[in-house]
Amino acid sequence: MTPGQIAIRALIVGGIVTFAVITGFAYTTLLERRLLARLQARVGPNRAGYIPIPGRGGREIRLLGGIMQPAADAVKLFFKEDPTPHRANKVIYNLAPILTALTAIMILAVIPLAPEMNIFGQVFSPYFAIAPGINVGMLFILAITSVSVYGVVLAGWASNSKYAILGGIRASAQMISYELALGLSVLPSIMLANSMDLGEIVAAQRQVWFVFLQPLAAVIFFIGALAELQRAPFDLLEAEQELSSGYNVEYGGMRFGMFFMAEYMKMISFSAIAAVLFFGGYRGPFVDQLPGLGFLYMALKILVGLVLMIWIRATLPRLRYDRLMQFGWKRLLPLALANVVITAIFILLVEENVLTPLFDSIFAAFSF
């Protein structure tokens, strides 16, 4: 294929994936509200868009109750008043939510969504993605997640509000701190696959998922992702009792909605990254014979990650800020660093064929 054809294909696939993620973001909000209501024994959205079905005794059954709630929320945000604070830096004030939302979508550019396949005569190789075969895919993801910090910090600074700037400062401290552990937690998967290409990492999990070889790295990654997403119990950037909603306090209407949208799209993106690094990505039963199943397996694994994030929000209380920072620097970071060193030692011992004679001697000693 020529470079022009590759670019056109990437634009088409990128548009489809972006549309799917934006739609997924809308219904992730509905999933969270319904699931939180179920976990906390209260009523969630159940009116907007329901299908009335007559029941026994004149009782009405509301099928798919709340299915149009995301659309109602979007209409409300579009028509809400959206003022700009006096003396705010208008260029950066308007740029910050756009930067935050764009980085949330850009993460998905290198995520393998399905194995190699043929769609309408077009061969997607070596796997189905917006930009497949990038040999520094994991480095690209880490770079984009680092850039997303700027959107939050600039939003606080440009708003010309003491509460917003305090939220921005807190954001920079928290997100940078937990990015260190997050970056170290992906190294074991890279070392086991001997590649930063996410497709190679998925292929290396053909026999066993990396979560069984690196459970500690998977837990650290998930905790770091929650802190990066500013999700409970790490949502100190938006602690209403301290910061009056933090960095986004001066935003309204759809500009506020873009921050809201970025959070949920990043939830989908980080769930996809976790699926690729630790849970085999698109791999599953019969995926080699039916490549289209890869989309289904990825969707299911992403859904499990989303449900787990929502479950944690419904269960755990918010951490105090000093304890949050202590946990990141004094607990999570040393654990992630030690795990990387131990993993490197074991890989080296396996490559030098040191462990095999040792295990043989142990088995011989205990055999009768």
Look at residue 71 and tell me whether its pLDDT is greater than 80.
yes
Give tens-digit pLDDT for 109-152.
999 999 998 887 788 888 999 989 889 999 999 999 888 888 88
pLDDT value at position 230?
84
Share of the chain above pLDDT 90, in %: 46
pLDDT value at position 140?
93
Give tens-digit pLDDT for 13-58.
899 898 999 888 889 999 999 999 999 888 888 888 887 888 777 7
Share of the chain above pLDDT 70, in %: 95
Are the beta carbons of 159 and 93 closer than 8 angstroms? Answer: yes
pLDDT value at position 253?
87
d(CA 161, CA 252): 14
d(CA 217, CA 236): 24
Among 62-76, 194-208, 262-276, 334-348, which is the least confidently predicted range? 62-76
pLDDT value at position 192?
93
d(CA 13, CA 206): 26
Look at residue 153 and tell me whether its pLDDT is greater than 80.
yes
d(CA 294, CA 285): 9
| Mean pLDDT over each residue of the chain, to the nearest integer | 88
Q: Tell me which residue of 88, 6, 28, 57 sits closest to 266, measured CA to CA.
A: 28
- Provide the greatest CA pair distance for the chain: 83
Domain-by-domain residue ranges, the chain?
A: 3-44+80-366
Phi, psi (5° rounding) for residue 106?
-65, -25
For the record, the structure tokens of 163 come out as 């509460």
Among 75-84, 100-109, 197-206, 273-282, which is the least confidently predicted range? 75-84
pLDDT value at position 5?
77
Q: Give the confidence band of 266 by pLDDT, cuts at 50, 70, 90.
A: very high
Look at residue 243 and tell me whether its pLDDT is greater than 70.
no
Look at residue 368 and tell me whether its pLDDT is greater than 60.
no
